[in-house]
Structures are given as structure tokens and as C-alpha cells.
Amino acid sequence: MEKEGWVNAIASVLMLSVAIIVATVFVLNDKIWVGPVFISLGFVHLIVLRLFGREIKTVWPDLVFGAIDNGFLVVGAIIGANFAGIIGAIVGGAAINTITDGMAGIFEGWTAGYLRQNKIKDKRTAISSAIGKMAGCLFGAGIFLLILWTFFGKFTF
């Protein structure tokens, strides 16, 4: 379990955070690529988890939480931005994030219960919870952005 300790968890999260920031800076001006880049980064996170010896099915609760949480946050921020600009994006994102944290917690708990019921060990560690949630957030945001900006390109900031 030492390789899943605090130091490796913090180092991994920081390294992956830098990758997210760098990738986002490169695609921010061409918004159609943000969704696919986020989805790709989600897969990078899953690869990192596999390098730490984690089976992806053991982090399903974290993936579900992150996907619901960030997916709907994106929608709230976009709607808020279209109504009231930057402040609308902040307020809309914060309000929806609060609501979806509760909803995502329900699904995270249900998924964790499902894993236990089916004898799938989901022993959480700092690194598996952190990177699992980060991957879920990237998948949720990426999928929602891809859908919104592909089919409803009129949404702008």
C-alpha cells in the first residue's frame, strides 16, 4: 500500500493537474476541442490508476460522482453565463455544483454498495479516490461540453 500513500497521491494529483491546465490553455480558444481533450485526459487518469495497480472497476463510485458533479456544473455555468456573464457563470456553477454534489453522492453511495454486494473490493485510498474523481470530472465535463458545443454551438461566454 506504500505506493498509494500520501506523497504519491499528492505528487500524482499535482502532475495530472499541471497536465489539465496545460492542455486546457492550448485548446481554450478553440472550444470544440475542449470536450475531446477532457475526455482524453480522463483516460490518462485511468492509465495512471492502472500504473498504481488499481482496477478501474474499483473506482466506479468516484468516476460516477465526478461525472455527475462536473457534467452538470458545466451546464449550470454555461446557462448562468448566457444570462449574466461571468458572475452568472460563477453563481450558476456554484448553485448547480451544490445540488449535483448531493445527487452525485447518492449515486456514489449506491455504486459503492453495488460493488460490495457483488464482492468487488473498492477499498478507497487517497490516490484512488482523488484520481478516480478527477477522471470522472473530466469525463463528465468533456462529454457535456462535447454535446453542448457540437449540437448547441450558440452557447458562448
Task: Give the DSSP letter of residue 57.
Answer: G
**pLDDT confidence of residue 1:** 46
Tell the burial category of 134 from Cβ atoms under 10 Å away from its Cβ (0-12, 13-18, 19+).
Answer: buried
Confidence at 157, pLDDT banded by 50, 70, 90: very low
Cβ neighbours for 59, distance < 8 A, ≥ 6 positions apart: 49, 122, 128, 129, 131, 132, 135
Cell readout for 130 is: 482523488
**pLDDT confidence of residue 20:** 95
**pLDDT confidence of residue 156:** 54
- What would the 3-class secondary structure string for 114-145 be? HHHHCCCCCCCCHHHHHHHHHHHHHHHHHHHH
Task: Give the DSSP letter of residue 53.
Answer: T
pLDDT score of 154 more than 70: no
Residues 103-139 have pLDDT tens digits of 988 988 888 888 888 887 767 788 888 999 999 999 9
- What is the spatial distance between Cα 28 and Cα 84, in angstroms, rounded to a whole number? 21
**pLDDT confidence of residue 122:** 67
Cell readout for 9 is: 497521491
Angle between helices 6-27 and 34-51 (to 10 degrees): 160
Residues 20-65 have pLDDT tens digits of 999 999 998 888 899 999 999 999 999 999 998 888 988 888 999 9
**pLDDT confidence of residue 15:** 94
**pLDDT confidence of residue 32:** 85
Q: Name the pTM for this structure.
A: 0.86
